[in-house]
Structure 1
Amino acid sequence: MVVCDHVEGVVSAPDGPFFGPLAHGLACGAHIPVHVSRAWNTLDDPARDHREDRDSLAEGWGVETAEDWSRQVDYLLAGQNVGPEVDAVLDVRRTLLRQQGHYDLVTWQNAVARWARWQRRRAAEVDELVELAGVVTRYESRFRTDGLLPHDGIVTSVFGYDLGRAVNMARWGHGGRFCDYGSAERIVLRAGELCRQHYSSWADYSAGYALGRVIRFDEESYGHLYASVLGPHRLLTADRTSPWWHVPFA
């Protein structure tokens, strides 16, 4: 069983936004600051200087210039970091549900295989996409056990993972002096708008964010990388000081 990373509580900056579009966008990026006990509602971090942000971006993202940073922001806002393949597989399931009202794993995998062949994917790619449906199914089962999904819930999109990270990329870019405050704010607002296009609620969004993270990094180990998203999810959905309690998602 996963033991969640220890998280003290939701930290808020008293002079940061608590309502409105900017608060919504910042709340879409809340998993990361909550995980490290930093304020969710600010683009400024008094505990870090610009060199620390730059070193972190260089080490974790290969970002060393403003141009590198801008490209990474565009990549994240387009959902290209986690990749479109997972959402394509989820789209096949949505089609089955719309057409038939139900599905099972075998039916879903067969439909994925037909779609992938129609897309003229190579045989190895077809196999990978079919297996991806199985990976999603196993993670969703664990999500239901751990409260990331309701008992009959499914994930609708994983683009939320890249969008949540885009919010933090705006924060780090501003902190690293790769952009001014206005540019960072526009990225946060855009990420919030895109989240509303893909999700219907904070819980829906968080499940998508979590699935994107674990598919990208966890490899079904259910270890630290899983715990590091499960802990913030539980806090953000349960703590009455969380923005998810007072910032409407829609």
Structure 2
Amino acid sequence: MVVCDHVEGVVSAPQGPFWGPLAHGFACGAHIPVHVSSPWNALDDPVHDYARNRETLADSWGVTTAADWSRQVDYLLAGMNVGPEVDAVLDVRRVLLRHQGHYDLLTWENAVATWARRHGGDVDEMVRLAGVVTRYESRFRTDGLLPHDGMVTSVFGYDFGRAVNMARWGFGGRFCDYPTAERIVLRAGELCRQHYTSWADFSAGYALGRVIRFDEEQYGHMYVSVLGPHRLLTGDRTSPWWHVPFA
């Protein structure tokens, strides 16, 4: 049984959006502010949060200039930070299910190997990812990140959700103006709607992207720190996921 990091609750900014596309975009980035008990629906303050944001961006992202920041935003919105390999593996499974109606891990691994050879992918790494996804999805079902028969459809949501927070930190660190940050939040929301069908679907994809990127099947802090926000965002009636439609 996982013991989650303590999460206080869903904090909202009274002046922030609660409805509409901008609220939806902010809600796609809600995992991180919920984890640190910050408002989900606001950008950081370029006066109060300036030094902290600059330090965070430099230490965690190597971002020290506006050009660095803009480049990271572009990578995130293109899904290039988490990378396309996992989604390629998930796409192979989707094709198997469409054609056969079922699959097992060995069949999936063989199909992934065939796809990788045809498309110049790293065969061993992509086959390994099929097993990694299978084990994480099993744990997700146990912990409520997925329903008992659920599967992750895409991991790009992890990058899109982080793009929302990059906009938040970029404005707070004075790397962009408010309209630029708002456009990023809206674009991230649009991309999430293209890849997912519900908040639960999105959150499972976000979580899988995070743990594949950082957790290395340790089920440690990187897993716990996404499970807690997921549970709060899907279970607390004050969460934006209860009142902002995903579609």
Q: What residue is the counterpart of 1:244 in the other structure?
A: 241
Q: What residue is the counterpart of 1:198 in the other structure?
A: 195
For 1:31, the aligned partner's letter is H
* Residue pair 2:146, 2:204 contacting (<8 A) in 1 also: yes
Q: What residue is the counterpart of 2:68 in the other structure?
A: 68
Deviations 1:2-26 (A, max 9, x none): 2100001100011110000000000
Deviations 1:196-232 (A, max 9, x none): 0000000000000000000000000001110000000
* Residue pair 1:43, 1:175 contacting (<8 A) in 2 also: yes
**Match runs of 1:222-233 below 5 Å:** 222-233=219-230
Offset of residue 168 of structure 1? 0.1
* Residue pair 2:47, 2:172 contacting (<8 A) in 1 also: no
Which residue, 124, 127, 131 being the options, matches 1:127? 124
**Percentage of identical aligned residues:** 83
**Match runs of 1:50-61 below 5 Å:** 50-61=50-61
* Residue pair 1:2, 1:223 contacting (<8 A) in 2 also: no
Flag structure 1 segments of 5+ consecutive residues without an equivalent: none
Deviations 1:154-207 (A, max 9, x none): 000000000000000000000000000000000000000000000000000000
Name the CA distance, whole Å, in 2 between partners of 1:47 and 1:138.
44
For 2:140, the aligned partner's letter is F
Which residue, 226, 231, 235 being the options, matches 1:234? 231
Offset of residue 128 of structure 1? 1.1
Deviations 1:14-66 (A, max 9, x none): 11100000000000000000000000000134894212111110000000000
The DSSP-based 3-state class of the residue aligned with 1:82 is coil
Offset of residue 119 of structure 1? 1.5
Q: What residue is the counterpart of 1:118 in the other structure?
A: 118
For 1:23, the aligned partner's letter is A
The DSSP-based 3-state class of the residue aligned with 2:94 is helix
The DSSP-based 3-state class of the residue aligned with 1:99 is helix
Name the CA distance, whole Å, in 1 between partners of 2:128 and 2:114.
14
TM-score (norm 2): 0.98
Name the CA distance, whole Å, in 2 between partners of 1:38 and 1:71.
25
Deviations 1:69-127 (A, max 9, x none): 00000000000000100000000000001111111111100000111111234xxx211
Q: What residue is the counterpart of 2:173 in the other structure?
A: 176
TM-score (norm 1): 0.97
**TM-aligned CA distance change 1:45 to 1:11, over 3 Å:** farther
Name the CA distance, whole Å, in 1 between partners of 2:50 and 2:138.
41
**Match runs of 1:1-250 below 5 Å:** 1-45=1-45, 48-121=48-121, 125-250=122-247
* Residue pair 1:174, 1:180 contacting (<8 A) in 2 also: yes
Q: CA RMSD in A?
A: 1.1
Name the CA distance, whole Å, in 1 between partners of 2:125 and 2:188.
29
* Residue pair 2:163, 2:188 contacting (<8 A) in 1 also: yes
